Amino acid sequence: MLRPAISCLILLLLKMHVTLAKDEVDSDEELDAEQIGGYFQGDMLMTSWQRSGLRNGSYRWPNATVYYKINSSLDEAHTDFIMRAMYLIENSSCIKFEEATDKQPYFINITNDKHGCFAHVGYLGKVQEFNIEYAPLGKRCFRLGTIVHEMLHSLGFYHQHASAGRDAYIRIIDRNIKKHLMDNFKKQSNKTVHDFGKGYDFNSIMHYRMDAFNKFKHGLTMIPLQPGAKNMGQRIAMSDTDISKLNAMYNCTVQQTESTTNLPVSDKI
């Protein structure tokens, strides 16, 4: 049963946001960049096996090494920004990113010429799409946290809000979601998503904001049911739990070095 304070918070948020039905969202600028690609949950390219709910260890990158190529049309500053995101992951885990040679049969092909930001989920043993639509540094797809978010997809992470046990932590407000986007809130089965015993994480860089895929400019689509959600949807850095899950997924033994535990609310970008 919800505590009275949390129940009051839900009612207040709904009163403030749900009633603003006149303000339809029709601009990409109003959305997180990860939502606009039109793929599963906005930014996930999925195989038929992954969509059917099969969990398979073969989706882990061999030897925890991710090979990549970056579109040569990107300028040095944008290329360095992508490399910085790779460094953040390397510095928090045993994952290594290596530039692919012409003979490398599998790698993530980092492009910037398509709409939105999106990536395949996990290792597929072939050339994999990874698109970051060109934008000024720090904006839209070129927020550092958004690039890390997409790289975690490539490493095998799904979205936190779609985890099997999410209903104990967030309430989905169906009436505020565009009908054709309802699948973006479909829960993954326990056969697909493994939390490695780390539990639900409001601070995860893989969690969407409370207004993700909303029908109205000020409408909420997710309401937290537990405390600790002030940074929900942040795109600053991996949370402690993100790092812990990544290390468990790839059997790493390094100490975590990044954290968003104490991020201020204003850093939810």
- Cite the annotated binding site by residue number: 149, 153, 159
State which amino acid sits at residue 124: L
State the CB neighbour count (10 A cutoff) for residue 125.
11
State which amino acid sits at residue 219: G
How far is residue 151's CA from residue 145's CA, in Å, rounded to a whole number?
10
Residues in the chain: 269
Of 120, 155, 128, give the one whose Cα is nearest residue 245: 155
State the CB neighbour count (10 A cutoff) for residue 186.
10
Residue numbers in the known binding site for Zn(2+) are: 149, 153, 159
Of 104, 117, 113, give the one whose Cα is nearest residue 154: 117
Of 228, 239, 233, give the one whose Cα is nearest residue 261: 239
Helix (H/G/I), strand (E/B), else coil: 68: strand
Q: Is 258 in the active site?
A: no
| Annotated catalytic residue, options 34, 133, 150, 258 | 150
The tokens describing 163, both together, are 């985890």
How far is residue 258's CA from residue 87's CA, in Å, rounded to a whole number?
11
* Locus of tokens 């540094």: 137
128 strand-pairing partners: 108
Active site positions, annotated: 150
